[in-house]
Amino acid sequence: MTTKTEPAPSSPTEAAGPERNDRIHLVALLVAIGGVVLLAITAIALLNDDDSTSTSGLGDDAADAWGGALMSPGKDRPDFTLTDTAGRPYSFADETRGELTLLFFGYTNCPDICPVQMAVLADALDTPGVPRANAVFVTTDPERDTPERLRHWLDQFEGGEAFVGLRGTLDEVAAAEQAADVAVSTRLPTDDGDAADADYEVGHAAEIMAYTPDDKAHLAYPSGVRSEDWIGDLPRMMDRWGSGTDSATASPEGGDAPAVEGGSAAVGDITVSDAFAAASDDLTAVYVTIDNAGEDDTLVGVSSPAAGDITLMSGEDGAGMAEVDDVDVPGGGTTAFAAGAGHIMVTLDDPVEAGDTLPLELEFDKAGSVTVDVQILSWNAMVDRIESDGSNGSSGS
Amino acid sequence: MTWWCAASKEPWSWAFRAYPGIWLFMGVLLAGYLLAFRHAPAGSAPTDRRKRWAFVGGWLMLWLSTDWPLGTLGAGYLATAHMAQYVLYTMAAAPLLMVGIPEWMMRRTLSRLRAYRTVRLLAKPLIAGMVFNLVLLITHAPITVDNLRTNEAGSFLLDVVWLLSALLLWLPVCGPLDEVKPSYPVRGVYLFLAAGLVPMVPGGFLTFSDTPLYAVYELAPRIGGFDALDDQQAAGAIMKIGNLPLLWPVLAALFMRWGNEDKKPSVPTPSETANPPA
């Protein structure tokens, strides 16, 4: 019934040969498969190692590798005014000064670069633990990009409702591009050479400029950058060029106390900065730095509309960390609630997640009260931050 | 001229794209199958018409999942399409092709390729399952996809490896060589583990990853505003459950056959007839 391709063995000795060969083949195959698996695991482990080092903050050997193109010296934050999608004038410099801001020139009919760049950026900004940033998109095709169309296009991205869309005349847009020191956009001829063809494309700069709180763009992100590049770079930008302010966040709720957006605030000669804590359901430790340029003062109380009990902790971790009623803030010095040396323990009313902010009012004996928005980080991001801040000054006492 | 589907930076459109390499491959496969019947060995049993239809069905599935538009989408635009391709290869095309190959054709092909012993060894369930899942893991690793899908040769290699590993998966289950088929329950357990359980692990990675894993799909021109992460999560879901429509019916059939086998009265062997038990 069947056509046998293997000749039947004519003796037991012959029969043993193929069986032994089979066993040898089997062993060889299993060894080969095992080797491949080992190689694959090693490769994956190495890749994972690369991933973890690329986001571990400064001071790391791999920290010099940025996802974007490093520019030295950095380019100044440009000063131009265009119109946002609500029809209001928007001064880029005034609206974004001192804040992490990502600026991109493109158009909604762009078939390839613009939607990919914006989607990748949106995915990254939507990732927990990534610092909040202003995302500003300037259309290089104001003729077709009406305010409604521009708004609708931006809204389709993850978290795109927060993106700022700007329009202007072609001359105004060109001036903005020149101010940002990127290539000036130009309308491209269509394949059939018909200048009146409504399907024209616009040549424009493909890179996203990243402006940090020092009002410089040190990095530009060309087409092809991935969200993992952004996720790795944005916290590092803040570490390197953050200048004490972390990001744009919502204004603090109520109160007369003066406040500065995003993890920093000042009252009198006292500046409270670099306020952060880990995401938590109920209890979190807040770390903060207090600079006092004036006379000696004392931190006498901390409160929050979003928290219950708040206690000041001071001393060494594991040996002598204790609750204190107040903390001296010496004039002309820095007092840091830093890991292992002190923190502000906050019992939360509601859980806080990475990307949230927690308003915290610090009351000083002489300078008065100040409200700071504590930046909530993921646990890993907080650990990275603590490691990078390891050389903080004196602790709370 | 593009011979095989590969990633492209061109925005997606429904305009037809021709891939002569795929047509050639599919033509050779079908022609080889049909011409082989002209040279069927004398005395071999006539091939069941259903077998031929099964092969043609598998061939159509293979073509559908390799050529435009699914092949184009899977090569460079959507991870979802990539995974749909893979599921069609492994859960539709391969089993149908296996069912459609007559025993004499398989033996003759393996004999000419001098591959019978190797295939018999590879078809042992443990090895076949390991090879299939190793291929699954390696060919879905981001480094593999990002490097192979971006060129025609790499994309062709990926498709061929998928097909071969899928054929190997089904050989002990519904292939034409009886000597490599284990018992029905073993086949059921093998299929459940190799094709049902293990793929859930990489599928889970895709589903629950916070960031897009494949550069080729993350940076591809967008289609209909489909977000890269959503696309990847959908792909993971397809990897995890896309095999179910075929897997569970096959498993059910295997266990039913096992049950029917047990119900059959055992036929005494000639030696038992000659020496009845006392």
CA A358, CA B161: separation in Å to the nearest integer? 53
Name the band, by pLDDT with cuts 50, 70 and 90, for residue A182.
very high
CB atoms inside a 10 Å sphere around CB B99 = 20
Helix, strand, or coil here: A285?
strand
Provide the pLDDT for residue B95: 97
CA A262, CA A377: separation in Å to the nearest integer? 13
Res. A282: pLDDT tops 60: yes
Provide the pLDDT for residue A24: 61
Task: Say yes or no: ipTM exceeds 0.85.
Answer: no
Q: From chain B, which residues contact A within 8 Å (Cβ)?
A: 9-11, 41, 44-45, 103-104, 107-108, 110-111, 116-118, 120-122, 124, 127, 130-131, 134, 137-138, 141, 143, 210-212, 215, 218-222, 225, 227-229
Tally A–B CB contacts below 8 A: 90
Provide the pLDDT for residue A80: 97
pLDDT tens digits for range A30-70 = 666 666 656 655 555 555 444 443 333 333 334 458 999 99
Tell me the nearest-neighbour CA distance from A2 into chain B, angstroms.
6
Residues of A in contact with B103 (CB under 8 A): 2
Provide the pLDDT for residue B143: 94
C-beta atoms of A6 and B218 within 8 A: no
Res. A291: pLDDT tops 60: yes
Residue of B nearest to A3 (CA): B104
Q: At what angle do helices A12-54 and B125-139 cross, to 10 degrees?
A: 30
Provide the pLDDT for residue B224: 79
DSSP state of A238: H
Provide the pLDDT for residue A32: 64
Provide the pLDDT for residue A323: 82
Query: Lowest-confidence range among A152-161, A344-353, B173-182?
Result: A344-353
Provide the pLDDT for residue A211: 97
The tokens of B130 are what? 């390991």
- Closest by CA to B229, choosing from B216, B215, B210, is B210
DSSP state of A352: B
pLDDT tens digits for range A102-112 = 999 999 999 88
Distances (CA, A) of B273 to B262, B263, B266, B267: 21, 21, 12, 10
Provide the pLDDT for residue A25: 56
Collect contacts of A13-20 with beta carbons under 8 A, ≥24 apart.
A18/B117
Geometric angle at alpha carbon A263, from A261 and A266, rounded to 5°: 70
Instruction: Give the pTM.
Output: 0.67
Instruction: Say if CB B61 and CB B96 are below 8 A apart.
Output: yes
Per the listing, tokens 């795109």 go with A160
Provide the pLDDT for residue A214: 93
Provide the pLDDT for residue B44: 73
Res. B26: pLDDT tops 60: yes
Query: Lowest-confidence range among A126-130, A162-166, B121-125?
Result: A126-130
The fraction of chain A above a pLDDT of 70, given in percent, is 72
| Closest residue to A36, CB basis, from B118, B134, B229 | B134
Provide the pLDDT for residue A186: 92
Provide the pLDDT for residue A52: 40
Instruction: Say if CB A299 and CB A290 are below 8 A apart.
Output: yes
Res. A385: pLDDT tops 80: no
Tell which wins on pLDDT, A365 or A14: A365
Name the band, by pLDDT with cuts 50, 70 and 90, for residue B222.
confident
Provide the pLDDT for residue A256: 35
CA A246, CA A212: separation in Å to the nearest integer? 9
For A269, list phi and psi in degrees, rounded to 5: -90, 5
Provide the pLDDT for residue A319: 53
CA A327, CA A93: separation in Å to the nearest integer? 38
Cβ contacts of residue A184 below 8 Å, gap of 6+? A174, A177, A178
The tokens of A257 are what? 């106390």
Provide the pLDDT for residue A40: 55
CA A197, CA B19: separation in Å to the nearest integer? 31
Provide the pLDDT for residue B252: 92
Tell which wins on pLDDT, B29 or A377: B29
3-state secondary structure chain B: CCCCCCCCCCCCCCCCCCCHHHHHHHHHHHHHHHHHHHHCCCCCCCCCHHHHHHHHHHHHHHHHHHCCCHHHHHHHCCHHHHHHHHHHHHHHHHHHHHHHCCHHHHHHHHHHCCCHHHHHHHCCHHHHHHHHHHHHHHHCCHHHHHHHCCCHHHHHHHHHHHHHHHHHHHHHHHCCCHHHCCCHHHHHHHHHHHHHHCCHHHHHHHHHCCCCCCHHHHCCCCCCCCCHHHHHHHHHHHHHHCCHHHHHHHHHHHHHHHHHHHHCCCCCCHHHHHCCCC
The tokens of A126 are what? 């939507």
Q: Which of residues 278-337 of A touch B (CB under 8 A)?
A: none
Provide the pLDDT for residue A387: 65
C-beta atoms of A22 and B121 within 8 A: yes
Res. A22: pLDDT tops 70: no
